[in-house]
Amino acid sequence: MARLLRNASSLRHSFFAAEVLVLEKGSWEHPPSSVTFLLKGRKKSKSSDESDCNEENLSKKELALRQALDQITTSFGKGSIMWLGRSISSKNVPVVSTGSFALDIVLGIGGLPKGRVIEIYGPEASGKTTLALHVIAEAQKQGGYCVFVDAEHALDPALAEAIGVNTQNLLLSQPDCGEQALSLVDTIIRSGSVDVVVVDSVAALVPKGELDGEMGDAHMAMQARLMSQALRKLSHSLSQSQTILIFINQVRAKLSTFGFGGPSEVTCGGNALKFYASMRLNIKRIGLVKKGEETIGSQVLVKVVKNKHAPPFKTAQFELEFGKGICRESELIELGCKHKFIIKGGGAMYSYNGQSFRGKDAVKQFLSKNDSEREELMTKLREKLLGKTDKEKESETEAVDEDLAEGIIPLDSTDEEVTAVEA
């Protein structure tokens, strides 16, 4: 009996050895189950050895970072932390045009960025609301929905329609207090269905406590705390919904307490809006546009005080026609004359593409009636202003470096002092 058992075990060992040898030579297309089990065991041991080798090759820092990333992803979900250069999101920021060709060029990215806070501030009758309505009109041309929060209760529907706003598809709110206005803005932005929200203006966002109090009561920093809390809540939902939130703000005169050189103007609503805004545009009227004895518009200067997407402190000028808005043909003519695409001769004569015009109004009418000619001029100007060669950029930087010693201006100086220094 013992001899039979020894013979059976020897036959079994020889059978397994023969199966493995024949499989290694490649003669069996369909190996038996016993050989498959052996190979699976070998593969598992090889993969475990390779993973051990990879973990040994990684440093302690990389292993700790990988474990931390896995823990964050498990706790907060996929996409809560990612590598910036390896993410799928596009590097170009989506924008909405401002309605002014010169201002779009000055902003550096072609318009106002989506998903950001924008502040437009300046003195009275400088064109703040008109510029915001132009942004709404451009967003509606792209098929977007817009909201106008009229805290001042002073929106003119006729002006909005003349600028190009489709008032049938414009949502309007005239809130009773600041808390109601900002709660409405928060709800609208969280819906993710609106492209532009305009709040006109921060100074008119009166806190409820101030409305309930008596006239003359002191309410220290109540509006500033309200704006700070609202911006903390809105910043995340803005980036998720890709909504442009435009705050129109007023300016107040400030008595200088630090002697000569202090700021002469401050904006309403505290300092939180200055920090949360990706762009701050200071708009002011620098002259009037007259036709004979009649004043038909105003000349406006916009200074980019803050810009997170391009170099700041650039300026753009354009005309605002009363009851019509930004005159795009006028700024194209000015830029065309500056860059020699439109030749200005004596006696108010202009020539463009071999055609002569008498007076600026004739050139305006020609560009307004001929869309192809206007688009061609805009393309030339865009290539000239944005497509500078490396030699031109180097020469500009060298010229700036030479003038640095003479052009240094203190940060707290006013615009009048800047003009005096530059002169």
pLDDT for 265 equals 87
Q: Would you state the structure tokens that stand for residue 380, as one six-digit string?
A: 């030339």
pLDDT for 400 equals 42
HEC string of the chain equals: CHHHHHHHHHHHHHHHHHHHHHHHHCCCCCCCHHHHHHHHHHHHHHHHHHHHHHHHHCCHHHHHHHHHHHHHHHHHCCCCCCCCCCCCCCCCCCEECCCCHHHHHHHCCCCEECCCEEEEECCCCCCHHHHHHHHHHHHHHCCCCEEEEECCCCCCHHHHHHHCCCHHHEEEECCCCHHHHHHHHHHHHHHCCCCEEEEECHHHCCCHHHHHCCCCCCCCCHHHHHHHHHHHHHHHHHHHHCCEEEEEECEEECCCCCCCCCCCEEECCCCHHHHHEEEEEEEEEEEEEEECCEEEEEEEEEEEEEECCCCCCCEEEEEEECCCEECHHHHHHHHHHHCCCCEECCCCEEEECCEEEECHHHHHHHHHHCHHHHHHHHHHHHHHHHCCCHHHHHHHHHHHHHCCCCCCCCCCCCHHHHHHHHC
pLDDT for 419 equals 40
Residues of the chain under the 50 pLDDT cut: 15-30, 34-40, 44, 389-393, 396-397, 399-400, 403-408, 412-423
pLDDT for 261 equals 64
pLDDT for 163 equals 96
pLDDT for 47 equals 52
pLDDT for 296 equals 94
pLDDT for 7 equals 59
pLDDT for 405 equals 43
